[in-house]
Amino acid sequence: NAGVTQTPKFRILKIGQSMTLQCTQDMNHNYMYWYRQDPGMGLKLIYYSVGAGITDKGEVPNGYNVSRSTTEDFPLRLELAAPSQTSVYFCASRGTEETQYFGPGTRLLVL
């Protein structure tokens, strides 16, 4: 199993541009999550999903959108990039146990 994979690894965006961060898991997990990690800070939940077709907001959803059309994929969309969205983004998934499995992260710089 590859676990949780994320693409791209790194991206530079200009203010106002849009992009989609991809996340895929091959563990057949129902639960998936998007977090952002700012320097020296913990993980803040952006959006989460409890199954295909079901998504909900986390602590910091403003400026982001998600979709969950399949069990495997949970893309995160930034519509109008702002400098405040400069961060490292982690996708995670979990099955019936509580353990969350994290991807390697996407580092995003908005200039």
Closest to other proteins by CB, 10 or 16: 10
Q: How far is the CB of 111 from other proteins (least distance, A)?
A: 21
Compute CA 46 distance to the chain's CA centroid, rounded to the nearest angstrom.
Answer: 7
Which of 4, 21, 46, 81 touches other proteins (CB under 8 A)?
4
Complex with other proteins: residue 17 or 94, whichever CB lies closer:
94
CA atoms of 86 and 24, how far apart (whole Å): 22
Q: How many residues does the chain have?
A: 111
Which residue, 3 or 16, has its beta carbon nearer to other proteins?
3
**Four-residue CA torsion sign, 51, 52, 53, 59:** positive
H helical segments located in the chain: none
Binding stretches for other proteins (CB under 8 A): 4, 31, 33, 40-43, 45, 48, 50, 58, 90, 92, 94, 98-105
